Each structure stands twice: as structure tokens, then as C-alpha cells.
Amino acid sequence: MTSSRSRGLYFLCAALGLVATPAWAGDDPVALCIDASDKGLDLRKQGKLIEARRVLAACAAAACGADVSVVCQKRIADISAVLPTIVFSPKDGAGNDVVGVRMTIDGAPTGEPLDGRPITLDPGPHAFTFEIQGHPKVERSFVMVEGVKGRQERIDMVAPPVVGSATGPAPAPPAPASGSGRKTAGFVVGAVGLAGVAAGSVFGLLASSKWSASKDDCSSPMNCPNHGAAVTEHDGAVTDGTVSTIAFAAGGAALVTAAVLFLTAPRASAATVGTNAPLHVEANVAPGTAGLTVVGVFR
């Protein structure tokens, strides 16, 4: 049998991968420690970090001797430092947390629902399935990167579509719109047009009256005893004449628009008679121009 010193040196060499595990290992505790060290190193190289850490725990015990246990403990610490972890956050359609979601990893159920704690996995690709009653199954795949800790991933648990209502049949589609709103708009615009024509007539009469008074006050440049009054009346006649022209133009345009709205409106059905569209008319008046704008919904 080898001496204690020889075995210690052999352990150190085996832990460092300098020698192979002998065939006589059997149930010899020393040989088992060396074997655990070798297997842990192989698993680490294959990317199976979780399994490597479990195997190395056997040779990290004090019973394996200080030389071997120290090496195995360091390997376990190195693996723990680079093992990737991920945190899943299941959400509903409104962005609220979904509680009680169960998950499978690479086809194997985890047993407990997600609770916000990080999940440790070997580096590489993994397939995940998320399930909860009332939601369709969600399948996602992620590549775990060695050394990345606390990766955050949101999982949208979309509610299933509602096929029908339990309280009654689905509401009927709205009835087709009628032309009552268009006719109403025609009446409104027509009324505005008549008002414009009436206003044009009034201002036209005022302009004519002031023009006549200006002529009476000042019949000619040489015969103008009331020159100041004549000028005032002349200016008033010009202003009233301009307003009269604009009012006539706006009123005429409104009457034409009213006729078009009324004549092109479709015939109202019995189900839609009396429906009024929310409409209003805006007048656009500027020096030398006039117009009307009808704002609302035509049906």
C-alpha cells in the first residue's frame, strides 16, 4: 500500500488532471475522491455545470484530504460564479402580474409555480412552456449565456378570445344610416342662406338711402354746403354696400348648398325617421370674400 504522502501527491496530480483514475479504484475512499474530481472536470468542459457542481461536492469533503478538497471547492466556486440565472415575469393583457403560472423546462415540469425567484440553468438553448387555467399555453425558447445572472424576461399570458356571451346572443349590427341627417342639414343651411339674403337686402337698402342723402347734401363739388355730412354718408353707403354684397353672396351659396343636401339625401327608412345629425354652420367672412362651412355628421 502506498504511503500517506504518496497518496496526497497522487490526489493533487489527479485533481489537476495530470494522471488518470486507476482501474483499482473500487470502493477505496481516496480513489473515489479522485474519480469525483476527474468527472467534475469533464462535466465542466461539456457545459454541464449543474451536474459538475453536484459531482464535485463529493471530493470537496474534508475526508478527501486537504489537497483534493481545496481544489474541488475552488472548482465549485468557479462554476457557481458563471452559472446563468433567469427570472420570468408572467403578465396579462393589461400588464398586471399573473400568479400561479406553472412552467416546464425542456419538457420537464418544475413542480412549483413561478414566484419571481431566479432559475439556475446550464448554458445553452432551453425550451420553456408556461401554463395557467384561463390562458392558452405559451411556449418560448431562450439561450442561456454563461456568466449572465438575473436575466429578466416578460411572458405575456394572453387571455383566450371570447367566442360568445353567456347572457344572450351577440348584439345585432347597427341599422344602416338614413338620409334624415342630410335633409336636416339642408334645412339648417337653407335657413342660414335665407337669413343671409335678408341681411343683404337690409344693408342694400341702407346703402341706397345713405347714398341718396350724400347726393342731397352735396349735389356737385361746387355746390356742397354740408360737405362733412356728405362724406360721412358716402362712407357709410360704401360700408353697407360691401356688407350687403357679402351677405348676398354667402346667402346665395348657402341656398345652393341646402338644395344639394336636400336633393341628394337618400330616402329615410321607417326605423331611422327622426334621427338628427349633430350639425352646425360656421360663417367665413373676410373683406371681399364670404362663405359657409357645415360641420357635423351626415347620415
First to last CA, the chain: 106
- Whether 206 and 288 share a structural domain: yes
Span 128-159, pLDDT tens digits:
999 998 889 999 999 999 999 999 999 998 87
Q: Phi and psi for 272 in degrees, rounded to 5?
A: -120, 5
Structurally, the chain folds into a number of domains equal to 3
Select the more confidently predicted residue: 275 or 171. 171
Give the integer Cα–Cα distance in Å for 83 and 76.
Answer: 11
Domain termination residue (choose one: 50, 82, 114): 82
173 part of a folded domain:
no
- Whether 78 and 89 share a structural domain: no
The domain in which residue 243 lies consists of 180-296
171 part of a folded domain:
no
257 part of a folded domain:
yes
- Whether 213 and 291 share a structural domain: yes
Q: Which residues have C-beta within 8 Å of that of residue 4, sequence separation ≥ 6?
A: none
The answer to whether 248 and 292 are in contact (CB under 8 A) is no
Mean pLDDT of the 4-26 span: 46
- Whether 286 and 195 share a structural domain: yes
Q: Return the pLDDT at 234.
A: 73
Select the more confidently predicted residue: 58 or 209. 58
Does the global pTM surpass 0.75? no
Give the integer Cα–Cα distance in Å for 106 and 126.
Answer: 6
**2 CB neighbour count, 10 Å cutoff:** 10
Select the more confidently predicted residue: 234 or 176. 234
- Whether 231 and 289 share a structural domain: yes
Give the integer Cα–Cα distance in Å for 53 and 55.
Answer: 6
- Whether 70 and 144 share a structural domain: no
The answer to whether 104 and 132 are in contact (CB under 8 A) is no
The vertex-33 CA angle with 32 and 37, nearest 5°, equals 115
- The CATH number assigned to the domain holding 100 equals 2.60.40.1120
- Whether 90 and 46 share a structural domain: no
Instruction: State which of 15-24, 104-113, 206-215 shows the largest mean pLDDT.
Output: 104-113
37, 32, 160, 153: which is closest to 103 by C-alpha? 153
Domain termination residue (choose one: 122, 156, 190): 156
- Whether 29 and 44 share a structural domain: yes
Give the integer Cα–Cα distance in Å for 182 and 257.
Answer: 11
175 part of a folded domain:
no
Span 189-212, pLDDT tens digits:
778 878 877 877 887 788 688 767
- Whether 217 and 263 share a structural domain: yes
- Whether 249 and 144 share a structural domain: no
Give the integer Cα–Cα distance in Å for 154 and 96.
Answer: 11
CA atoms lying within 13 Å on the CB side of residue 215: 6
- Whether 192 and 117 share a structural domain: no
172 part of a folded domain:
no
Burial class, 112, CB count within 10 angstroms (exposed 0-12 / middle 13-18 / buried 19+): exposed
Give the integer Cα–Cα distance in Å for 25 and 34.
Answer: 9
* All three cell numbers of 173: 349590427
Question: In sequence order, what are the beta bridge partners of 91?
Answer: 97, 156
Instruction: State which of 12-16, 155-159, 258-262 shows the largest mean pLDDT.
Output: 155-159
The shares of helix, strand and coil residues in the chain, as percent rounded to the nearest 5, are 45, 20, 35
- Whether 185 and 292 share a structural domain: yes
**34 CB neighbour count, 10 Å cutoff:** 26
Domain termination residue (choose one: 82, 105, 136): 82
